[in-house]
Amino acid sequence: MQFELLKVDNAARVGKLVLPHGVVETPVFMPVGTNGAVKMCPRECAKRAGTQIVLANAFHLYIRPGLDVIKSFGGLHNFSSWDIPILTDSGGYQIFSLSKHVKVDNDGVTFKAPLDGTIHRFTPEKVVEIQEVIGSDIAMVLDECLAPGNDMKETETSLKRTSDWAKRALEFHTRKDQALFGITQGGFFKETRVISTNEITSMPFEGFAIGGLSVGEDLETTLKMLDVVMPLMPANKPRYLMGVGDPKLMLEAVERGVDMMDCVLPTRMARHGAVYTSRGKINIRASAYAFDKSPLDPECKCEVCQNYSRGYIHHLIKRGESTGMILATYHNMYFLHELMRNSRNAIREGNFSSFKRDFLKHLDESEKHVIVE
């Protein structure tokens, strides 16, 4: 992996990430393809929408189809026919999201698989092994993601565990054509965030992620923690904010120097009729759109907005037609990719702050007009 900074506008950055399966321009949004596929959007659909790199989940792929299957195909790229870079999450988020089925100790994590109830043991070494078999361009270390509400003592214990796991992952990782990223944690205390960031960034990872945010806390808390962490991050390596797909937070993150983001939100919302627009999010299921002949977003140039009406997509979503979900998914992905492309252009031109201010002004002005029936 190679990372090159091309332009900096205050703290916002444009960069180029060179990976075995392609070049990625940053800042970039990564759609989530948990099981090796973006829901309701096959490979060519995702690429046409502007996807440069996709995220898959090592935990879920390990459960199904299993490493033997993926290995027999020569890795996830061959198995899924993805010909662009893939980043694999380690399963650390599942410590948070599946907490009722997880037991954590200093050596690793014991999972009860939600699919079939089978018990599995993940250690930092095992997670590296899984991702080396998968063959992703970027692999993430195993970390512990805490929910809001943990006290300082619990956070300090978790922080130490995450740092120890990171060291073990580094020592075990051998695949030279795969970058390994460390993950900073530290909960919602300034002191522990500083400690974790300093500890993880002192290790020779090829990139660094900010974990444990966007897990239910409010926007103000997220930004407060980012303001603590971002000045401590190395400037010469990519910075990845995990779990972010809200346009406002994405721009706030880019302004602070974040290079990479991912989230299941745009695709999940689309399947239920929630659509991003330049004037705010709309719920296309609302009856007010039944006779609406306009596109999802009059300012959007995606294939969906050029060819289909709100009324038609409203009908499809209301009837549970997968075609409606596909169209809404494509649009939401295009919208976020276009937001990042316009952000890169604004940074190159040295006017990202103005771009962000104008974009958010339109969103704020539209809030009272959004139909949420």
Question: Of the listed 89, 143, 259, 297, which one is catalytic?
Answer: 89
pLDDT of residue 30: 98
pLDDT band for position 100 (cuts 50, 70, 90): confident
Average pLDDT for residues 156-174, to the nearest whole number?
Answer: 97
pLDDT of residue 43: 95
Q: What is the DSSP letter of 176?
A: T
Is 105 a known active-site residue? Answer: no
- 50: number of Cβ within 10 Å: 19
Average pLDDT for residues 107-126, to the nearest whole number?
Answer: 89
pLDDT band for position 289 (cuts 50, 70, 90): very high
The percent of residues in the chain predicted with pLDDT above 90, rounded, is 87
pLDDT band for position 222 (cuts 50, 70, 90): very high
* Mean pLDDT taken over the chain: 94
Average pLDDT for residues 49-73, to the nearest whole number?
Answer: 96
Indicate whether 62 pLDDT > 60: yes
Indicate whether 367 pLDDT > 60: no
pLDDT band for position 366 (cuts 50, 70, 90): low
Give residues with Cβ within 8 angstroms of 62, minimum separation 6. 91, 120, 130
pLDDT of residue 125: 98
Question: Of the listed 9, 137, 246, 262, which one is catalytic?
Answer: 262
- Between CA 297 and CA 198 the distance in angstroms is 43
Indicate whether 98 pLDDT > 80: no
pLDDT of residue 218: 93
Whether the model clears a pTM of 0.85, i.e. scores above it, the answer is: yes
Domains delineated in the chain: 2-262 (3.20.20.105), 270-369 (no CATH)
- Helices 247-255, 322-348: crossing angle, 10 deg rounding: 20
Is 68 a known active-site residue? Answer: no
31-50-13 Cα angle (round to 5)? 80
pLDDT of residue 111: 85
pLDDT band for position 96 (cuts 50, 70, 90): low
pLDDT of residue 263: 96
Nearest to 129 by CA among 190, 171, 172: 172
Indicate whether 166 pLDDT > 90: yes
- Between CA 20 and CA 86 the distance in angstroms is 10
Indicate whether 92 pLDDT > 80: no
Indicate whether 105 pLDDT > 80: yes
Say whether 320 sits in a helix, a strand or coil: coil
The percent of residues in the chain predicted with pLDDT above 70, rounded, is 96
* Listed range (121-135, 136-150, 198-212, 317-331) with the worst mean pLDDT: 136-150
Give residues with Cβ within 8 angstroms of 210, minimum separation 6. 183, 184, 225, 226, 229, 233, 239, 240, 241, 242, 258
Average pLDDT for residues 231-257, to the nearest whole number?
Answer: 97
pLDDT band for position 368 (cuts 50, 70, 90): very low
pLDDT of residue 101: 78
pLDDT band for position 370 (cuts 50, 70, 90): very low
